[in-house]
Amino acid sequence: MRDETKVVHAGRHPEEFEGAVNPPVYHVSTVLSPDLADWEQKKKDYAADRPGMYYGRHGTPTLNALQEAIATLEGGYRTLLFPSGLAACAGAILTCAKAGDHILISDSAYGPTRRVGTRFLKRFGITAEFYDPLIGGGIQALLRPNTSVIVVEAPGSLTFEMQDIPAIAEAAHRRGAMVVMDNTWATPLYFKPFEHGVDLSVQAATKYIVGHSDAMVGAVTATKEAWPKLRETHIDLGQTAGPDDVYLAQRGLRTMATRLRQHWESALALAEWVSRQPEVERVLYPALGTDPGHAVWKRDFLGASGLFGVVLKSVSHDAFAALIDGLELYGIGASWGGFESLVMPFDPREVRGATRWPDTGPCFRIHAGLESLDDLLADMDAGFKRLRAVT
């Protein structure tokens, strides 16, 4: 079965719900047992990690449907849901790290994930070190006897560097370290983490899986080896996700393959157009032939999503504001992966530890939504004309 088909069918069991196409939304904490024997059996099944509904926090058919679908698409053993993408990132790292450990985080990792390493884990005697996202197999030199986790993300948040995941995974595994990947940008459709050596793969389902900017869900998928520890951590931290949000995520997933093709097509056309504007220093999008990460992207990835970065040459803040402020179709806001186009200004120099950001011009991120590409191009063209008028 191809992914486009899996996206539609994985995790759905209409035969279990009187034929309903989508799984019902179970709002449940208490699950009643008819007698003592049933109660004891449920407890045993739960302890042994067998299927069944024992308590709301420990899984329901609504949660199981999405977990099964994501595990199938990621190509991992099993998946657990978290209340947000960041909770999933933290949960995946906490699965692998213990007091006294050293962990390595890509310098291009999602900002709040960086902070989990430098602030939260520090309280538990764990040392986080940032590394150059382009380090590849050279990561070997940074591995210490107590390095337990390498956090990778490709392309990186905001700056879109491609990482050589197989080379990093090989070095990690030689030394008994685990690889945690944030696979949100590519989604499980455009990168297969477990074919490239990843041990735990994170999805901020909030983005493309939900796809409509109206719910927050995170997911961690594990290899069979990493699964028991992930499950234990998830249980101990009391993690779960709200049934309505999970329902929206599984509903969004069904159209994700179709949506992503359009996000990719529009982002590529926009990125090419933007890169030709004289005020643009460079465009950060590995699907562009001119991007330094293009070769790695082509080797390991199956597609590109709709999110990319733009670095402007040194223009005044007023000129930058003239570009951004008059945009009619691109909302100014955080997050991405919904049907709508967005822009978000950012300064990479605020989130660097191991590497130096070379450019001084203002940067912004574009999420190409599902509007007409012609309209998106015209709106961006008007923005650059306003910038030019101020310069």
Ligand X SMILES: *Cc1c(COP(=O)(O)O)cnc(C)c1O
Please report, as ranges, the residues that interact with ligand X according to CB under 6 A.
84-86, 89, 110, 157, 182, 184, 204, 206-207, 216, 218, 335
d(CA 285, CA 263): 13
For ligand X, which is the closer residue by CB, 89 or 168? 89
In the bound complex, what is the minimum distance in angstroms from residue 20's beta carbon to ligand X?
27
Least separation in angstroms between residue 48's CB and ligand X is: 31
Active-site hit among 6, 54, 55, 57: 57
The phi, psi pair for 375, rounded to 5°, reads -65, -40
Smallest distance, ligand X to C-beta of residue 279, A = 27
Read off the amino acid at residue 116: V
Compare residues 126 and 241 and give the one whose CB is closer to ligand X: 241
From the list 3, 182, 291, 300, the catalytic residue is 182
Cβ count within 10 A of residue 296: 22
CB of 40 to ligand X, least distance (A): 38
> Has 182 been annotated as catalytic?
yes
Give the nearest residue (CB) to ligand X. Answer: 85
Which of 253, 192, 238 is closest to 80 using CA atoms?
A: 238
Nearer to ligand X, 85 or 293 (CB): 85
Q: Return the exposure string of 240-273: e unless at least 16 CB atoms fall within 10 Å of the residue's CB, then b.
A: bbbbebbbbbbbbbbebbebbebbbebbbebbeb
Catalytic residue among 207, 259, 282, 386: 207
E strands within 101-245?
102-106, 127-131, 147-153, 178-182, 200-204, 218-222
Is-catalytic flag, 299?
no
Q: Which is nearer to ligand X, 185 or 384 (CB)?
A: 185
Catalytic residue among 12, 101, 107, 110: 110
Burial 129-139 (b: 16+ CB within 10 A, else e): bbbbbbbbeeb
Comparing CB distances to ligand X, the nearer of 194 and 336 is 336
Q: In the 8-state DSSP scheme, what is residue 50?
A: -
Catalytic site includes residue 224:
no
Catalytic: 57?
A: yes
Output phi, psi for 298, to 5 deg: -65, -35
Nearest distance from C-beta of residue 18 to ligand X, angstroms:
33
As a whole number of angstroms, the distance between CA 342 and CA 278 comes to 22
Q: Which residues are known to be catalytic?
A: 57, 110, 182, 207
